[in-house]
């Protein structure tokens, strides 16, 4: 299964490289696009959950790495006000 990494910029200017076990996250984000925090979180949940489900369909168990990445994104997002903006920088394969 092709995995990929993607880069985001948090509202405080810090960048983070994130992981997905599947390229399906490409369906949920566009490079160099700013997302309000709530939308970014919804897209992250949808994309990483879909990626985990692809792993489940293929190997019989969800992807703990994708679910862990989602948990890290949600924890980091909790540090910022709801109206903050996250910049989706790019995909890295």
Is pLDDT above 80 for 33? yes
> What is the predicted pLDDT for the residue at 2?
86
Write out the residue range of the structural domain in which residue 42 sits: 4-92
Is pLDDT above 90 for 64? yes
- How confident is the model over 34-51, as a mean pLDDT? 97
For the chain, the domain total comes to 1
Residues sharing a CB contact under 8 Å with residue 60, sequence separation 6 or more, in sequence order: none
Angle, helix 64-77 to helix 37-59, in steps of 10 degrees: 170
Compute the distance between CA of residue 73 and CA of residue 67 in angstroms, rounded to an integer.
10
> What is the predicted pLDDT for the residue at 90?
97
pTM of the model: 0.93
The number of helices, as runs of H, and strands, as runs of E, in the chain is: 2, 4
Quote the percentage of the chain above a pLDDT of 70. 98
Alpha carbons within 13 angstroms on the beta-carbon side of residue 10 total 17
> What is the predicted pLDDT for the residue at 82?
84
């Amino acid at each position: 299964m092709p995995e990929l990494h993607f880069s985001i910029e948090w509202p405080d200017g810090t960048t983070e490289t994130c992981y997905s076990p599947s390229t399906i996250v490409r369906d949920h984000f566009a490079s160099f696009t700013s997302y309000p925090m709530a939308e970014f979180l919804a897209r992250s949940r949808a994309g990483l959950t879909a990626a985990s489900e692809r792993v489940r369909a293929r190997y019989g168990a969800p992807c703990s790495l994708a679910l862990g990445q989602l948990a890290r994104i949600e924890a980091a997002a909790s540090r910022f006000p709801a109206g903050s903006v996250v910049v989706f920088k790019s995909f890295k394969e």
